[in-house]
Structure 1
């Protein structure tokens, strides 16, 4: 009887195990079917999204009549990703003023972009693409003492010194300038507002937002572009396109221009200089940013403060931005002056920014405050702050990938469709930078020496033949608002996007 009970019990267990195995197999099959269904639905969504954008581009009347929330199709609308979720759990030792005031927040992620203008899709030549989420390789190269290199080159212009590739990050200065547009939706918002003081507030928030990514980027420097090197970036998602070129070797000058379907343009020429102060290095951002709004006729200039790399000798290196940032609306004569406070070594103030918007008579109209690494707020009433902008959370493991944001991660990517459209002068084709991004440090070092030597030889040949370098996409223009002692600035002269459309680049010099 006992044996019979055991056998019966064992039989029951065997039955349960068999049913569990069947259930597990069914669950696995259901899971696989669910993933296949989800992938199928996403592919259908992407196909419909492309058809939607194509329909808008072909039907100007339809595009102009759609309200803002219907003029673009986004995966966020159906919950395919979680960009609205804040994963940042960093906290400050000191309680910020905006936390004490319990601000009424308006997250940048929820800003409604203005409706897509009729016929404006022609400005953006590419369909939205699936972007890569991570670089091909993590941080590569041995740690090299920047201080030892600086000591050997005291008194020299640091931009002319040949640096080992391990001191670099796998983007260059032209791409660094493009990073200013990571939060371009702030300009979209500004350009849509009817009141000039409100527009100034959002332009000022945009000016601060360009510093946010630097909090993760103190360890390395960008590649120095070769003379004639170009970089384009097209963002159908954000609605702008950007072109840049190195226009002068000595002094080194980079010029860039961007235009948006939301009726604004952005341009600047960067003439940054560096000074070595022993324990710190100062980056002086000579050059003026110009922003123009088509509808209001506003013309803004932005003058930025110095950036400092601290702790060159000992301790953890970090970047600090100190001094005054000034935004001027030359159309209305309104200004915004923001003070970037120096970070304290012993806690307290960190990355703090405070300032005011002034009317044409110099009277204070609005108060702004925040931190360049976190957010900017407007004081809309006593003890009541409204958030204008918030820094996006960085990607997972971002410090393993040079501290790059999602926006920066996309810059060097070449899709098959894009490769056939780019000129060979584009940074994406630069071999040393490309090798370094893929983690091939020794090969990158050799290529860096080769391409730099090739440019030196080209320069000597042109000088011997009394030939002047011909800048391709930019030209010097008189500019009453520039800091240049000659009163001129490099402005986009046109033609790049037309050449891109036809594929006729007529390249006379091969940089690599």
Structure 2
């Protein structure tokens, strides 16, 4: 399944009015000394519960960051277009989508704003539409639901982020199950994201990586892909960073394909015989039946003979480094389009995020404090009560994932069908003016 870089790029496929190409102003300078002093007070603590200096935020809400998962949603449309019998190709494509959803994280060292309870975000284009809602505050939980406009696929999940500072690094754990459903095949794929670690937050050059194991499972056929996001180190060669590799397995755990690449750049697929031959040429002895991969795996695009390119990341804008290392997709997220209307709870209306985007740090800090105080005041009458006793999310209800049995949130429907986005789900509760 060979694709050209143009076919693999969403920016080449969408015909729509021009979006902005950059933020209003470059990222402001940070006061590193003040931030280091602040971080030293946070060692071992849960950072989602701590108010961070606004200069170390990026001008996006965490809900907008979640929406970046669908940057390469066209991969799911391609998966929908496969033959019903083409189970392996569909698994490859969903695996590729899962990896591609992490690509925008590369070099994104600013912390997104914590969403307020009841905050929402919506995004629509020709390939996907997504709705996010902050359904919990203690603990913070963000739920999302995305679908193809013609119903070809559904992508949904909920994230309970955990962020901890360990002295030299910050670790982000996005707890939650993600799933993709294809109605045409009655197939559902599930997985959980791997952890993200930012290194050298006190001394040295900041760098980040994803580490851990990601297992994408076809819950109908029990085919799966098991990927390893390999850890680097401060002395690693640049070409050895961000490596991801693994195998597609049948229900009996026999290896079907080898998947390799970098979550920041590309993903390739190759047959198991070609994978074996590659290491024979390199004079490496490898046990194909083993679960561990050889130490020196391919690092370059389609390096193994017979490989096919599954996905290639879009290039960043030339001046991305002065605009929070945003991708072209990220630059659009907080844009208010004249021909679109949004809920009054939409992130785009948050004054602190808008102020930071415009380079107004003092205003951003004061607005952030005002919003946090407003949220505390709203909660005061309910002190000592469970959040579920006094708060009902508008678009999602608590549930259990059908396959993993983990806590989840189910979309109740109606959002896209309601032109005013105003369908109430509870007669007793109304969404407050959170901003």
2:365 counterpart of 1:445: yes
| Aligned length, in residue pairs | 388
Mark the CA change 1:503 to 1:474 in structure 2 (over 3 Å): closer, same or farther: closer
What is residue 80 of structure 2 aligned with on the other side? Answer: 191
For residue 266 of structure 1, the aligned residue among 155, 158, 163 is 155
TM-score, with normalisation over the residues of structure 2?
Answer: 0.84
For residue 414 of structure 2, the aligned residue among 485, 492, 495 is 495
For residue 133 of structure 1, the aligned residue among 21, 25, 46 is 21
The secondary structure found in structure 2 opposite 1:498 is coil
2:327 counterpart of 1:405: yes
1:112 and 1:175 mapped to 2: Cα distance?
Answer: 20
Query: By how many angstroms is 1:141 displaced?
Result: 4.6
**Structure 2 unaligned runs (5+)?**
275-304, 425-429
For residue 235 of structure 1, the aligned residue among 115, 125, 146 is 125
Could you say which structure has the greater relative contact order, defined with CA pairs below 8 angstroms and 6 or more residues apart? 2
Mark the CA change 1:442 to 1:141 in structure 2 (over 3 Å): closer, same or farther: farther
2:134 counterpart of 1:246: yes
What is residue 350 of structure 2 aligned with on the other side? Answer: 430
The secondary structure found in structure 1 opposite 2:26 is coil
What is residue 207 of structure 1 aligned with on the other side? Answer: 98
Which structure has greater helix proportion? 1
Q: Is the 8 A contact 2:189 2:217 kept in 1?
A: yes
- TM-align CA RMSD: 2.2
What is residue 25 of structure 1 aligned with on the other side? Answer: none
Query: By how many angstroms is 1:240 displaced?
Result: 1.0
2:18 and 2:185 mapped to 1: Cα distance?
Answer: 35
1:204 and 1:425 mapped to 2: Cα distance?
Answer: 33
Moved more, 502-511 or 168-177: 502-511
Mark the CA change 1:365 to 1:438 in structure 2 (over 3 Å): closer, same or farther: same
1:222 and 1:337 mapped to 2: Cα distance?
Answer: 29
Q: Deviations over 1:73-116 (max 9, x none)?
A: xxxxxxxxxxxxxxxxxxxxxxxxxxxxxxx9523532599xxx
What is residue 225 of structure 1 aligned with on the other side? Answer: 115
The secondary structure found in structure 2 opposite 1:384 is coil
Give 1:8-407 correspondences, 5 Å limit: 106-110=3-7, 128-144=16-32, 145-194=34-83, 195-218=86-109, 220-236=110-126, 239-260=127-148, 261=150, 263-344=152-233, 345-347=235-237, 349-380=240-271, 382=274, 383-407=305-329
Q: Is the 8 A contact 1:352 1:371 kept in 2?
A: yes
TM-score, with normalisation over the residues of structure 1?
Answer: 0.72
What is residue 457 of structure 1 aligned with on the other side? Answer: 377
Q: Is the 8 A contact 1:340 1:354 kept in 2?
A: yes
Q: Deviations over 1:389-410 (max 9, x none)?
A: 0011111211111111111111
Q: Is the 8 A contact 1:112 1:189 kept in 2?
A: no
Mark the CA change 1:443 to 1:178 in structure 2 (over 3 Å): closer, same or farther: same
Mark the CA change 1:272 to 1:279 in structure 2 (over 3 Å): closer, same or farther: same
1:216 and 1:309 mapped to 2: Cα distance?
Answer: 9
The secondary structure found in structure 1 opposite 2:6 is helix
